[in-house]
A and B are shown apart, each in its own frame.
Chain A
Amino acid sequence: MSLHDLPEVAGLLMSLVAVGLILVGLFFLFVAAVGVLRLPDVFTRSHAVSLTDSLGAFFVLAGLALYQGFSTNLFKILMVLVLLFLLNPVIAHATVRAAYRCGLKPWSKEDA
């Protein structure tokens, strides 16, 4: 290995980091899906949908952006990432506030 194949090695390393990030993101998306399936009511499920889902999307999109290399696509994917991070909590907050104003009671231990 000489100094001449340094760009090749750097590209391979970047792909490996991208694969790692995507796998971590898939783990978080899986945890979010388990939460949506198993949690008892709207207020607890909104945690799975907004928090864990946003983190999983962050890792997957960061991995995909890294895989593109340094180009316009990287910044476009980062723009989608920032958009998701802004929009997901807004939607979850609006939905949960509507649920609370409609008179749904949060789940408590007595309901179990």
Chain B
Amino acid sequence: MKIFFLFVLITITLLIGVYLYRVLRGPTLFDRVLGLNGISTKAIILLIVIGTVYERVDMFVDISTGYALVNLVGSLAIAKYLEARGEVL
């Protein structure tokens, strides 16, 4: 079972690489924000899988909840700022 969870970890890490490509090469700033949102979703899943591997889910779930809330505040702040500025980068 541990090998299966390691497989899940490696797969999700490889998927993060795809999103990282979009963050680095995205034509517009909004592509980068969306890519970061996708990366943080993957990071939340990754944290819970790590907790399952180490059998400390009770601790890692709290960290991932905080991560989700920080992601919400950061992404909303960037989106609101860009909307108020009103020009394409």
Residue among A26, A33, A88 facing the most chain B CB atoms (10 A cut-off): A33
**Chain A window 50-80, contacts with chain B (Cβ cutoff 8 Å), 1 for yes, 0 for no:** 0001100100110010011000110011011
Interface contact tally, CB-CB below 8 A: 135
Q: How many residues of A are counted as interface, with CB atoms below 8 angstroms from the partner's CB atoms? A: 47
Residue among B12, B49, B85 facing the most chain A CB atoms (10 A cut-off): B12
A92/B34 contact (C-beta < 8 A), A37-B22, A76-B57, A79-B65 known: yes
**Chain A window 4-31, contacts with chain B (Cβ cutoff 8 Å), 1 for yes, 0 for no:** 0000000000010001001000100110
Contacts of B80 in A (CB 8 A): 94, 98
**Chain A window 73-110, contacts with chain B (Cβ cutoff 8 Å), 1 for yes, 0 for no:** 10011011001100110111011111101111000000
Question: How many B residues touch the partner, as a band?
Answer: 35 or more
A83/B79 contact (C-beta < 8 A), A61-B48, A102-B86 known: no
Contact indicator B34/A102 (Cβ below 8 Å): no
User: Interface on B for A, CB 8 Å cutoff?
Assistant: 1, 4, 8, 11-12, 15, 18-19, 21-22, 27-28, 30-31, 33-35, 37-38, 41-42, 44-45, 48-49, 52, 57-58, 61-62, 64-65, 68-69, 71-72, 75-76, 79-80, 82-83, 85-88
Q: List 29 A-B contacts (CB under 8 A).
A: A15-B1, A22-B8, A26-B8, A29-B11, A29-B15, A33-B19, A36-B22, A36-B38, A37-B22, A49-B34, A49-B35, A54-B41, A60-B49, A61-B45, A68-B52, A73-B57, A76-B61, A77-B61, A79-B61, A84-B41, A88-B37, A91-B72, A91-B75, A95-B30, A95-B33, A98-B79, A99-B28, A101-B83, A102-B86
